[in-house]
Amino acid sequence: MRHFAVAAVLAAAVTGPLVSTATIASAAAPAVTVTAAEHGKPAKPAKPVRSQFSAVGTVVAVDSGAGTITVAARAGTKDVKGTTVTIAVPATARITINGARKRLADLAAGYRVTVTGTRTGTAYTAARVQATKARPAPAPSPSGSATPEPGDDNTHAA
């Protein structure tokens, strides 16, 4: 038992200074960062940020073949407000025109539209498209009125 106690004391005396020396050396050495590329592994690309968006404006163009609409957004989330944005409209998107369920091909330039969906990086994808036909401008009144004006007396004989 005595030999065991002596061995323990000697072991503590030998390793104690080594531990403190290693601690001091690691504190003095600068940290070394090794990137994945240095290990031969390709670096992972950063995932694009996915967020919700909304755009309120006027349809500029519809490409039903490509499944996109281009909207001149006058309101909406700050990333689209005041810009013209092209939005992908998948087949799963809910499209309504004047409250009735329609298809992308039924949309036309000039419609007022509210689009909501997701933005992933710089790509916009619609989940819902609500459109109304733009009201036609009132027709100008004809310049030659058929109703007589007061004080307009056409009963004079020539």
Of residues 28 and 114, more confidence is placed in: 114
- Residue 30 banded pLDDT, cuts 50, 70, 90: low
- Contacts of 60-66 with C-beta under 8 Å, sequence gap 24+, read 60/84, 60/109, 61/109, 62/104, 62/105, 62/107, 62/108, 62/109, 64/103, 64/104, 64/105
* pLDDT attached to residue 49: 82
Please determine, for residue 94, whether its predicted confidence score (pLDDT) is greater than 90: yes
Please determine, for residue 35, whether its predicted confidence score (pLDDT) is greater than 70: no
Q: What CATH number matches the domain at 50-132, 1.10.287.1770, 2.40.50.320, 3.40.640.10, 3.90.1200.10?
A: 2.40.50.320
Residue ranges per domain, the chain?
50-132
* pLDDT attached to residue 156: 54
- Residue 95 banded pLDDT, cuts 50, 70, 90: very high
Could you give the CA distance from residue 33 to residue 31 in angstroms, rounded to a whole number? 6
Could you give the CA distance from residue 130 to residue 132 in angstroms, rounded to a whole number? 7
- The mean per-residue pLDDT over the stretch 36-62 comes to 83
Please determine, for residue 6, whether its predicted confidence score (pLDDT) is greater than 70: no
